[in-house]
Amino acid sequence: MKHKYEIVKEKIIKWVVNEKYKPHDKIPTESELMNLFKVSRHTVRRAISDLASERYVYRIQGSGIYLSDFKETELYLKKNKNVGVLTTYISNYIFPDIIRGIEDTLYDESYSLLLSSTKNNIMFENSSLKNLLAHKIDGLIMEPTKSAYQSPNIGYFNNLIKQNIPFIMINASYPQIKVPSLCVDDFKGARIAVEYLLTLGHRNIMGIFKVDDLQGVNRMNGFIAMCQENNIQLNENQIITYLSEETESLLPQKIEKLIAEKNHPTGIFCYNDEIAFKVLNIAHNFKLKVPEDISIIGFDDSQISKMVYPKLTTITHPKEKMGIDAAKLIIKLINNHNQFKDSDSILYEPTLVVRNSTAPI
């Protein structure tokens, strides 16, 4: 089943095929497209963003959206080198920083970027890969979807390998696919967070982890290992796990249940800053002060960590640097005919950023 934005894209392309609009004609505004296709602004923007990335449309600041000359576009795509970029998300959290690093580096080297996302959904990954491979791509940068599970889309990756199209993975990797990867040392990052809580005197510690991604599994394992090394006996109430689909539904209920208890944890390490923000709000709802009653640590050093009150103590993620490094590596592999070494992979060292959400017990 096609996504709504894909249907919108196809209809806009048909306008040229059916000569409703000619090359360089102005097309309806975002609001007009919303009314015309009965879709949300997000859907329209996603469709236009993809069309712009693929050079089927272009914007003129203050004027509007215009159709490109499709013959010129197809010629451009055939003549120039194109890199597909597939991430779990595009417009929120740390992903704009990663994509900006990729985009700026590729454009500086005269590469085109074809951008898509999976929303961390296996079926969306399938359709996105199919869409990207339908274009002429010379390389692929991708973030695995639900990387803690075996991917049902291995066939697409094997197809890339057979065609000698270089691809790399960011943030995580599928163990069964041997390609370079760029990841944060999530296991070590969790250990650093727990160690800091221990230095503050916290022993009643809780961890919250997403377990359908390898990042979450590795962070959970680091949390458990550090607790065991310091003789902290963890019980079932000290580790909360959740799936991507449960972030807005079941997860808040799990957190509320444990925070409401009289013997609630005094230190909480969260899968990322978004979850830390949720915990912060739930604590406030229960009239608990942060950090006086509960210390909270996030992960990723995102913009969220700097904007909330109190500002979050967190673990670093390289974000834009990861994007730059990924773009440089894929260009190198394209130029070297996909000859890669184990040393091409990067494991970024995490560090602790101390702010106001943590304090001695």
Position 79 confidence tier, pLDDT thresholds 50, 70, 90: low
CATH of residue 260: 3.40.50.2300
Instruction: Tell me which of 31, 61, 79 is where a domain ends.
Output: 79
Residue 299 located in a structural domain: yes
3-state secondary structure of 164: coil
Residue 206 located in a structural domain: yes
Asked whether the predicted pLDDT for residue 246 surpasses 80, the reply is: yes
Asked whether the predicted pLDDT for residue 74 surpasses 90, the reply is: no
Output the pLDDT for position 307.
95
Instruction: Tell me which of 16, 50, 79 is where a domain ends.
Output: 79
Residue 173 located in a structural domain: no
- What mean pLDDT comes out for the span 46-61? 82
pLDDT digits (tens, 9 = 90+) for 257-300: 999 988 999 999 999 999 999 999 999 999 999 999 999 999 99
User: Domain range spanning residue 65?
Assistant: 1-79
Place of tokens 């491979």: 133
Residue 205 located in a structural domain: yes
- Identify the weakest region by mean pLDDT among 76-80, 161-165, 182-186: 76-80
Residue whose C-alpha is closest to residue 48's, from 82, 91, 99: 91
Contact 199, 205 (CB under 8 A): no
Output the pLDDT for position 258.
92
pLDDT digits (tens, 9 = 90+) for 315-353: 999 999 999 999 999 999 998 877 888 789 999 999 999
E strands, 69-188, in order: 82-87, 112-117, 139-142, 167-170, 181-184
Asked whether the predicted pLDDT for residue 161 surpasses 90, the reply is: no
Residue 121 located in a structural domain: no
CATH of residue 60: 1.10.10.10
Query: For the chain, give me the number of helices (H) and strands (E)?
Result: 13, 14
Predicted TM-score (pTM) of this structure: 0.79
Position 175 confidence tier, pLDDT thresholds 50, 70, 90: confident
Residue 117 located in a structural domain: no
Q: Do 194 and 310 belong together in one domain?
A: yes
Instruction: Tell me which of 29, 61, 79 is where a domain ends.
Output: 79
Residues 222, 207: Cα–Cα separation, whole Å? 10
Torsion angle defined by CA atoms of residues 222, 224, 226 and 228, in that order, rounded to the nearest 10 degrees: -150
CA 123 to chain centre: 17
Output the pLDDT for position 301.
98
Residue 130 located in a structural domain: no
CA distances in angstroms from 49 to 53, 140, 197, listed in the order given: 6, 18, 43
Position 51 confidence tier, pLDDT thresholds 50, 70, 90: confident
Position 226 confidence tier, pLDDT thresholds 50, 70, 90: very high
- What mean pLDDT comes out for the span 83-98? 92
Residue 29 located in a structural domain: yes
Count the domains in the chain: 2
